[in-house]
Structure 1
Amino acid sequence: MLALSKVLRRTQRLQFGACSAVYSQLEGRSFFTLESPSTVYNDKCEAAPRFQDISSMMMSKRALSSNAGTKSDQEDDLEDGFSELENAKETSSSSSDDDSEDDETKLSADEEEEELDLIETDDGIKTVQKKPSELFNTIVSAAGLSIGSALDKYVEEGNEINRFEVSKAILQLRKRRMYGRALQMSEWLEANKKMEMKDRDYASRLDLIVKTRGLEKGEAYMDKIPKSFRGEVIYRTFLANSVAACNVKKSEVVFNRMKDLGLPLSGFTCDQMLLLYKRVDKKKIADVLLLMEKENVKPSLLTYKILIDVKGSSNDINGMEQIVETMREEGVEPDFYTQAITARHYVGAGLKEKAEKVLKEMEGGSLEANRGAFKDLLSLYATLGREDEVTRIWKICEAKPRFEESLAAIHAFGKLNKVKEAEEIFEKIVKMDRRQSSNTYSVLLRVYVDHKMLSKGKALVKRMDENGCRIEATTWDALIKLYVEAGEVEKAESLLREASKQSHTKPMMTSFMYLMDEYSRRGDVHNAEKIFQRMREVGYTSRLRQFQGLLQAYLNAKAPAYGMRERMKADNIFPNKSMAALLSQGDPFKKTAISEILD
């Protein structure tokens, strides 16, 4: 761990030199007061040492601070535009930016799903089965608002409901993102006293409430959980959801509260804070690592993945390589996905030979034996423009293709401008997919979007409707982008309004940004502000990317951006160098040489 924090401090893109100077201050102070407001945590507990950031240490405050300092000039181009956890899980698109968002998704989602999706029997044995359960089939086939009635009938027919079947059904509902149905099932079970509630049951319910109703409803539910069950699993579940929502204040309050309550500091908890600061303030990553070092929390595979991705996205390839080297020295071997992150950043830095070397390592001695790597191999070889390699790997899959591999192949051939090949794979996968999943259509639709094939895109969506596919967030996202790029912005906005009305899904943040960027390009301040406000209404907290788009609208309209700095500060958003330059351009009170002479 010591070696890892040293690597972070000595690499050039993220300047962490101050950490070693102030870290010793942690040793001499053991008690402090929580200064952030916490409205729902009523447990009384003796204050305990907790994590603090550099800026708060300098001011002798003993808590995680949500007031991030402005980024240094060396970090000016670090983009804060990772997609949010809830929406980015859906799919990846064809651009390198979309691949980065897909990386963020996997980093965020993998551990969270593992935490909540374990199937338990009453004797504690955990297992996983892929075959859908009868209970799951009952819930899925029920009309949207009559799940309780369907479950009543299920019991009347003599079917048994036990913990194993319940856990299995909820797992399968989660995998299909049917959070609303899973929540209705959970509420029915408690109301009908069909299962004794344990801490994991409460945690699962909390997670489902946040996913379907938002953080505030989740907080209210937390306060109702019996105190005896309000332990680590409850708090870390809420922490993960606060991080997913990119809510810095709430995440830091929960983290500090866990310390106050004397709950153990786990790798999962620290990884959540790393994910948060990866998005909002990369300078604070060193603070988390120093805390892990002090508390003897061993870095997990996810910890290394996050750090590798941070360094790669900062274009600090030397730093990224040092993290990989440290990881190996600590006896942690990279998995396929870690290698894929590394390769993707090599591609982004133009180091194609290094990228291909990593891809060959992923293939190993026998490509057939490493089938878990196929999905990423198809995507990365396509990004490198290696049609021969994509074709070679797809030929191995083609005889008995897996669903995810087929989606990746459609995406890969689309990147290579092989639309016909992508369509052929799509037709094969539609025959495989008896449920007629909207995901299958969304991937091909994205190919049409990237090639501006509006008529084909419209025909595909019509076919989806005829086959009874429910339009999910990814499909709405692709459609909105399709119409924006075709110049039909009014139609794209009407689709966004329609998507926002759907109770089963929430539009992706990128769906709003397509429109905002187009309005910004046109200098249409009124509509850019309208989209900005709509994002807030559906629950997206403000981020630097949104303010960049909004400010650009003012600049292109040659209109003064009154109060923009204050608006950003109110949302706890601090500009990097490029944003500071835009703010300076849009400042209506900016002094010029001529204005100073006239004054």
Structure 2
Amino acid sequence: MWALRRASSSLRKQGLNIQNTRIMSPGLGISNRCLEDCDSGVYWPAKAVTDRFLSLRKFHKTARSSPAEVWGIRSFSSQADTKSSGGEDDELDGFSDLESPATSGAIQKDIVDNNEDLVSESDLSEEDINDDFKDLINLSDTEAEISEKKSPRKRVTSKMFKAILDNPASSVSNVMNKWVEEGNEVTRLEVAVALTNLRKRRMFVKALQLSEWLESSRKIDFTERDFACRVDLIAKVRGLQRAEAYMQHIPSSEVVYRTLLANSVSAVNVKKSEEVFNKMKELEMPITCFAYNQLLLLYKRTDKKKIADVLLLMDKENVKPSHFTYQMLIDTKGQVNDIEGMEQIVETMKDEGLEPDIRINQLLAKHYIAAGCNEKAEVVLKKMEGGNIKENRWACQILLPLYASLGMAEDVSRIWQVCKSNPKIDECVAGIQAWGRLKKIEEAEDVFDILVNKYKKAKNSISKGYYTLLSAYADNKMLAKGKELVKQMGESDFPIGPLTWDAVIKLYCNAGEVEKADSILKKAGEKGQRKPLLRSYITIMDEYAKRGDVHNSEKIFYRMRQVGYTSRLKQFQTLIQAYINAKVPAYGMSERLKADNIFPNKALAGMMAQVDGFRKTAVSEILD
């Protein structure tokens, strides 16, 4: 844990000088005060900082090496411009809302075979990544039983789930009452499989109805994990406030509170997340690594300066970091092209007895490629391949798009040949994505045809292939082909959701038809079932900003807030860029930032200065 504490010096220095700044709500009680060592550029915690939950008195009373020796003295802000504007576009990063368990060997292979997350998670909004909830609450005590019944080629089926799926127009209560009348038995295994399958298909309303029926019918005795499952579903379907209200009527437990914490973080609700964490402390509940990881995930998205303080609190409470902890730190370093710092975290992780898992290796390769370290990326990819790619078939879907990002068409072809004779859905999607990145559209279309012909009955499953091909058309500015594919989807009655809307919006924006993209976004938002991705709004807003179209940029900014997206640094950067390009002042922008509790970094402060209507210039001073 000491090794993680040594991250605080470089993690803390991002953007603003944070000396004497509080980083959380007063209730959480974490202080961010520090003293600056002007010679080294390293920030050291104040010796006498104390509060209710965190004491830093003993922070540097140790015989271990100094932070600079392991983490270096580079600041994130010094390199932020090399990748993204302050690294704030976290809505597009590669993390699911809920961490995945550490896995290896056959278990890892099974997860990769059956989980959609790893195909192109870095290209998807976090809202559309499949967040299998079993990692958080282990829906029932029969999870081990489910695992035992799984075979490598066949998933566990559920008559209960099939009955619900076969009666989409009926309420789950009516379906279940009839199902029981027919002599079917309600077992925990049956319930666990049904809920898991409903979640994987994001049928949260049906899952909530099933949970409600189970409790009201008393077919099973509810445990704390069953209550936690209900809290999660209420939060997803009806919001955090209703979930909290339900918690007033059930037994209080750590698993229930961490469920609410995870949903608060998923909603990027900083205040509520901190309140829940603080409440867990007040109730003297055991705070696991999962809870700390949720805070890290929250601050990774909203304010990276606070990451160091969470690490300090973990150290004080003797909570050992998990694979997911290191995954977030590695990704945070990689987002700002701090490759050396990223590698040092990997070494620290190994020193702590943890080896990089598939997700971490995927992140390392992605960031190496983004930083132009192609040789290092190749080493990671070869390691993922192992001695025989046919034996490590599970890695193909990850390797295909990464080799494509390196421009290695021969390796993409070699890996695809391993899959081609009998490809899985996710391998087909990865193949389409890879050939699209290489601008080999004919090859991408060939893989798409294989997918559609092989899995034509599984419409929900192959819809991702349509989205991926549509994205390839958008990236290559092939508007006509994109329109044709959308028409084909409509005629085939394929489900169209936020991912497809996003691809269509990108298609029209790349073709210069921003107004058409705006119209599509508006219609998608009015459907009301699932809101468009944040990325879709930002894509259109970027185009309006490039034109200096302040009116439409403000309109998109307002619509984002209307559908529930919290304003963050990235949105304000894009909005202010519209004012800069229009060469008009942006009055009241500082007040708007303060109202949203956003503190500008150096880049944004410079942008705001350019649109300050009251800025003094040489000419204005003479006239005054």
TM-score, normalization by structure 2: 0.83
The CA deviation string for residues 309-330 of structure 1, in whole angstroms up to 9 with x for no partner, is 1111121111111111111111
Partners of 2:469 and 2:386 lie apart in 1 by 30
Alignment of 1:345 onto 2:367: yes
Q: 2:513 is aligned with what amino acid? A: E
What CA distance in whole angstroms lies between the structure 2 residues aligned with 1:399 and 1:51?
58
Matched with 1:74 is: 78
Give 3-state SS (helix, strand or coil) of 1:54's partner: coil
Task: Give the whole-Å Cα distance in 1 for the aligned partners of 2:334 and 2:323.
Answer: 16
Distance change (3 Å), C-alpha of 1:128 and 1:304:
farther
Residue equivalent to 1:120:
141
Contact 1:520 1:556 (8 Å CA) reproduced: yes
Maintained 8 Å contact 2:173/2:213 = yes
Take 1:479 and 1:338, find their aligned partners in 2: how far apart are those partners?
31
1:305 and 1:506, CA in 2 relative to 1: closer, same or farther beyond 3 A? same
User: Conserved in 1, the CA contact under 8 Å of 2:118 and 2:398?
Assistant: no
CA distance, structure 2, for counterparts of residue 51 and residue 373 of structure 1: 44
Unaligned runs of 5+ in 2: 35-44, 55-74, 98-114
Q: Aligned pair in 2 of structure 1 residues 211, 128: CA closer, same or farther (>3 Å)?
A: farther
2:578 is paired with a residue whose SS is helix
Query: Are the counterparts in 1 of residues 474 and 507 from structure 2 also a CA contact under 8 Å?
Result: yes
Of 477, 482, 497, the residue aligned with 1:472 is: 497
| CA-CA distance at 1:488 after TM superposition | 2.9
Give the C-alpha shift of residue 239 in structure 1: 0.9
SS in 2 for 1:120: coil
Cα distance, 1:598 vs structure 2: 1.9
- In structure 2, the partner of 1:202 is 227
Q: Which runs of 5+ in 1 are unaligned?
A: 23-32, 37-49, 65-70
| Kept in 1: contact 2:138–2:225 (CA 8 A) | no
Deviation at 1:11, TM superposition (A): 8.0
Q: Paired residue for 1:39?
A: none
Q: Would you say 1:52 and 2:75 are equivalent positions?
A: no
Number of the residue aligned with 2:511 = 486
Distance 2:148 2:304 in 1: 38
String of CA shifts for 1:564-583, please: whole Å, max 9, x gaps: 11111111111122111111
Change (3 A) 1:9 1:104: farther
Distance across 1 between alignment mates of 2:510 and 2:214 = 47
Matches of 2:117 and 2:215, distance apart in 1? 37
Answer yes or no: is 1:321 the counterpart of 2:321: no
Aligned-residue offset at 1:448: 1.2
Q: 1:300 aligns with which of 322, 325, 340?
A: 322
1:327, 1:333 within 8 Å by CA — same for their partners in 2? yes
Contact 1:8 1:286 in 2 (8 A): yes
Q: Of the candidates 266, 273, 276, which is equivalent to residue 295 of structure 2?
A: 273
What corresponds to 2:571 in structure 1? 546
Change (3 A) 1:105 1:499: closer
How many Å apart are 1:363 and its aligned residue? 1.1
Match of 2:258 in 1: 236
Structure 1 residue 305: Cα displacement = 0.8
Conserved 8 A contact 1:520-1:553? yes
AA of the residue aligned to 1:83? E
Query: C-alpha deviations, 1:245-271, integer Å up to 9, x for none?
Result: 211111111111111110112110111
Deviates more, 1:285-294 or 1:262-271: 285-294
- Whether contact under 8 Å (1:93, 1:446) holds in the other structure is no
User: 1:173: which partner in 2?
Assistant: 198
1:389 corresponds to which residue? 411
Tell me how far apart the structure 2 counterparts of residues 242 and 417 of structure 1 sit (CA, whole Å).
Answer: 40
Q: Separation in 1 of the partners of 2:410 and 2:560? A: 42
Matched with 1:46 is: none
1:117 shift after superposition:
5.2
Matched residue SS, 2:390: helix
Matched AA of 1:250: K
Aligned equivalent of 1:514: 539
Letter in 2 for 1:248: V
Structure 2: distance between partners of 1:5 and 1:17: 19
Q: 8 Å contact 2:337–2:371 — kept in the other structure? A: yes
Counterpart code for 1:519:
Y
2: distance between equivalents of 1:581 and 1:16? 12
Q: Percent identity?
A: 49
TM-fit CA distance, 1:387: 0.3
| Alpha-carbon shift at residue 7 of structure 1 (Å) | 4.6
TM-aligned CA distance change 1:530 to 1:34, over 3 Å? closer
Cα pair distance change 1:274/1:498, threshold 3 Å: same
| Larger displacement relative to structure 2 (333-342 or 206-215) | 206-215
Answering whether residue 444 of structure 2 is matched by residue 436 of structure 1, we say: no
TM superposition shift of 1:15: 9.6
Please list the CA deviations of residues 364-421 of structure 1 after superposition, one character each: whole Å capped at 9, or x if unmatched: 1222222232222111110000001111111111122121111111100000011111
Amino acid aligned to 2:296: L
2:101 alignment counterpart = none
Question: 2:318 and 2:534 mapped to 1: Cα distance?
Answer: 37
Give, in whole Å, the separation in 2 of the partners of 1:204 and 1:192: 17
Matches within 5 A, 1:516-531: 516-531=541-556
**Shift of residue 203, structure 1, vs aligned partner:** 1.3
Counterpart residue identity of residue 383, structure 1 = S
Aligned: 1:4 with 2:25: no
1:72-121: CA deviation from partner (whole Å, max 9, x where unpaired):
85375431111179998898999xxx875559789x97685511454533
Cα distance change on mapping 1:122 and 1:511 into 2, 3 Å = closer
Matched to 2:3, the amino acid is: A
- Rounded to whole Å, the distance in 2 between the matches of 1:166 and 1:529 is 47
The range that moved more, 80-89 or 373-382, is 80-89
- 8 Å CA contact 1:179–1:208 kept in 2: the answer is yes
Look up the equivalent residue of 1:486 and give its one-letter code. A
CA gap of 1:15–1:394, structure 2 versus 1, over 3 A, is same
- Per-residue displacement from partner, 1:318-358 (whole Å, max 9, x unpaired)? 11111111111111011122111111111111111111111
Structure 2 SS opposite 1:233: helix
RMSD over equivalenced CA pairs, Å: 3.3
Quickly say closer, same or farther: Cα 1:134–1:537, change in 2 above 3 A: same
Q: Write the letter of the residue equivalent to 1:79.
A: G
Q: Secondary structure at the match of 1:196?
A: coil
Partner Cα distance (1:199, 1:243) in 2: 21
- Whether the 8 Å CA contact 2:506–2:517 is kept in 1: the answer is yes
Per-residue Cα deviation, 1:129-180 (whole angstroms, up to 9, x for no partner): 4233121122223234633332232222222222211111110111122212
